[in-house]
Structure 1
Amino acid sequence: MAENRRPLTNFLLCSCVFTITLWNNIKPSDENEFIANYSSSLLEDNSDYETKSLPLSHTKRLQFASADNRINHSSWDVVHNTSDSLVLSNIPENGISDLIQLLSKFNKTSGLQNLTLNNITTSWKNFIRILQIVWHTSIEYFNIFEMKLLSDIKKQSFNYTGTSMKALIITNVSIEVFYFSQDDLYRIFSEMNITALTISDSKIIHMLCPSERSQFRFLSFSNNDLTDMVFQGCNKLDLLETLILQRNQLKKLSKVSSMTSKMKSLKHLDISRNLLYYDENHCHWVGTLAKLNLSSNKLTDSVFGCLPISVQILDLQNNQIRTVPKDITELKALKELNIAFNRLTELPGCSHFRGLELLNIEENSVLTPSSDFFHSCQNIRALRGGHNPFQCSCELRDFVNLEKKSGGRLVGWPESYVCEYPDDLKGTQLKDFHLSELSCNTTLLLVIALVVTVVVVAVTSFLCIYFDIMWYLKMMWQWTQTKRRVWNSHPEDLQSILQFHAFISYSERDSFWVKNHLIPNLEKEDGSVQICLHERNFIPGKSIIENIINCIEKSHKSIFVLSPNFVQSEWCHYELYFAHHKLFSESSNSLILILLEPIPQYLIPARYHKLKALMAKRTYLEWPKEKSKHGLFWANLKATINSNLPVSTEVIVV
Structure 2
Amino acid sequence: MANMRSFFVWILIFKTCYSLCFPAENDVVINNSSCSLSTVPKNLPSHTHILDLSQNNITEIHIQDFASLHWLKSLNLSSNKISNLARGFLRSNQELECLDLSNNELSSIECHFLHNVTSLKYLDISDNSFLSLTLGKAFRFLKDLEYLGLGSRKTIKLQKNDLKEVSGKQLQEVSIGLKTLSEFDPGTLQVLRTTKLHIVLPSTNKTGLLETVLRDAFNSSDTLKLSNIECYQECSQYINSFKTLGKFSRVSNLLLQDLTLEDWKDLISIAKHIWVSTIKSLSISDMTLRKITYASFECLETTLKTFTLRRIKITTFYFAQSIVYNFFGSIMVENLTISNSGLIFMTCPKEGNIYKFMDFSDNSFNSDFLFQDCRFLNLLDTLILQQNKLGQLFRVSTMTRYMKSLKHLDVSQNQLTLEENSNCLWTNSLTKLNLSSNKLTDLVFTCLPSRLEILDVQKNDIYSVPKELNSLDRLKELYLGANKLANLPDCSNFRNLEILFVEANSFHEPSSSSLQSCQRLTMLNAASNPFTCTCHLRDFSRMKENTHIEMIGWPESYQCAYPDNLKGTLLKDFHLSEVTCSTTLLLVIVLGGMIVLTIVIGLMCHFLDLPWYFRMTWQWTQTKRRAMKTDTHLLTEKLAYHAFVSYSQHDSSWVKEQLLPNLEERGSPLRICLHERNFIPGKGIIENIINCIEKSYKSIFVLSPNFIQSEWCHYELYFAQHQVLSEQSDNLILVMLESIPQYLIPSKYYKLKSLMAKKTYLEWPKDKNKQRLFWANLQAAIGISLTAPTEEVFV
TM-score of the two chains, using structure 1 as the length reference? 0.65
2:358 corresponds to which of 205, 212, 219: 219
Q: Check if 1:73 corresponds to 2:210.
A: yes
**CA 350–108 in structure 1, closer or farther in 2 if over 3 Å, else same:** same
- Aligned partners of 2:754, 2:397: CA distance in 1, in Å? 88
> Offset at 1:66?
3.7
Q: Check if 1:98 corresponds to 2:231.
A: no
- Aligned partners of 1:434, 1:371: CA distance in 2, in Å? 16
Letter in 1 for 2:228: N
1:374 aligns to what? 515
CA contact (8 A) 1:304 1:324 kept: yes
> Offset at 1:174?
1.1
* Aligned 1:25-424 pairs, distance under 5 A: 26=167, 30-43=169-182, 46=183, 49=184, 53-57=186-190, 59=192, 60=194, 61-66=196-201, 68=203, 70=205, 72-76=209-213, 78=215, 81-94=219-232, 96-122=235-261, 123-154=263-294, 156-227=295-366, 228-280=368-420, 281-370=422-511, 372-406=513-547, 409-424=550-565
* Aligned 1:553-592 pairs, distance under 5 A: none
CA contact (8 A) 1:18 1:39 kept: no
CA contact (8 A) 2:475 2:494 kept: yes
- Aligned partners of 2:584, 2:444: CA distance in 1, in Å? 38
Letter in 1 for 2:514: F
> Offset at 1:129?
1.2
> Offset at 1:116?
1.5
- Aligned partners of 1:372, 1:199: CA distance in 2, in Å? 47
2:122 aligns to what? none
Gaps of 5+ in 1: 1-7, 460-587, 593-597, 618-654
CA contact (8 A) 2:436 2:458 kept: yes
> Offset at 1:81?
2.5
> Offset at 1:109?
2.4
- Aligned partners of 2:157, 2:592: CA distance in 1, in Å? 92
> Offset at 1:432?
1.4
2:710 aligns to what? none
**CA 352–74 in structure 1, closer or farther in 2 if over 3 Å, else same:** closer
* Aligned 1:373-522 pairs, distance under 5 A: 373-406=514-547, 409-445=550-586
- Aligned partners of 1:323, 1:602: CA distance in 2, in Å? 79
> Offset at 1:182?
2.3
- Aligned partners of 1:39, 1:162: CA distance in 2, in Å? 34
- Aligned partners of 2:533, 2:332: CA distance in 1, in Å? 59
> Offset at 1:199?
0.2
- Aligned partners of 1:609, 1:173: CA distance in 2, in Å? 120
CA contact (8 A) 1:92 1:121 kept: yes
Secondary structure, counterpart of 1:197 in structure 2: strand
Gaps of 5+ in 2: 1-131, 136-150, 601-727, 733-737, 745-752, 763-795
CA contact (8 A) 2:441 2:462 kept: yes
Q: Quote the sequence identity (%).
A: 39
Letter in 2 for 1:55: T
**CA 450–330 in structure 1, closer or farther in 2 if over 3 Å, else same:** farther
Letter in 1 for 2:189: L
Secondary structure, counterpart of 1:33 in structure 2: strand
**CA 397–10 in structure 1, closer or farther in 2 if over 3 Å, else same:** same
> Offset at 1:33?
3.5
**CA 67–25 in structure 1, closer or farther in 2 if over 3 Å, else same:** closer
CA contact (8 A) 1:153 1:185 kept: no
- Aligned partners of 1:609, 1:73: CA distance in 2, in Å? 138
> Offset at 1:64?
2.5
**CA 190–372 in structure 1, closer or farther in 2 if over 3 Å, else same:** farther
> Offset at 1:446?
5.5
**CA 614–152 in structure 1, closer or farther in 2 if over 3 Å, else same:** same
* CA displacement 1:430-460 (0-9 Å, x = unmatched): 111111212223443455577789999999x
- Aligned partners of 2:754, 2:344: CA distance in 1, in Å? 102
> Offset at 1:110?
2.0
**CA 298–34 in structure 1, closer or farther in 2 if over 3 Å, else same:** closer
**CA 451–205 in structure 1, closer or farther in 2 if over 3 Å, else same:** same
- CA RMSD in angstroms comes to 3.8
**CA 25–437 in structure 1, closer or farther in 2 if over 3 Å, else same:** closer
**CA 599–149 in structure 1, closer or farther in 2 if over 3 Å, else same:** same
The structure whose RCO (Cα within 8 Å, separation 6+) is larger is: 1
TM-score of the two chains, using structure 2 as the length reference? 0.54
Secondary structure, counterpart of 1:116 in structure 2: strand
* CA displacement 1:144-188 (0-9 Å, x = unmatched): 11111122443x321112111010110101112222222221110
- Aligned partners of 2:152, 2:427: CA distance in 1, in Å? 63
> Offset at 1:36?
5.0
**CA 258–448 in structure 1, closer or farther in 2 if over 3 Å, else same:** farther
CA contact (8 A) 1:262 1:286 kept: yes
CA contact (8 A) 2:256 2:284 kept: yes
**CA 603–437 in structure 1, closer or farther in 2 if over 3 Å, else same:** farther
**CA 244–89 in structure 1, closer or farther in 2 if over 3 Å, else same:** same
Count of matched residue positions in the alignment of Structure 1 and Structure 2: 473
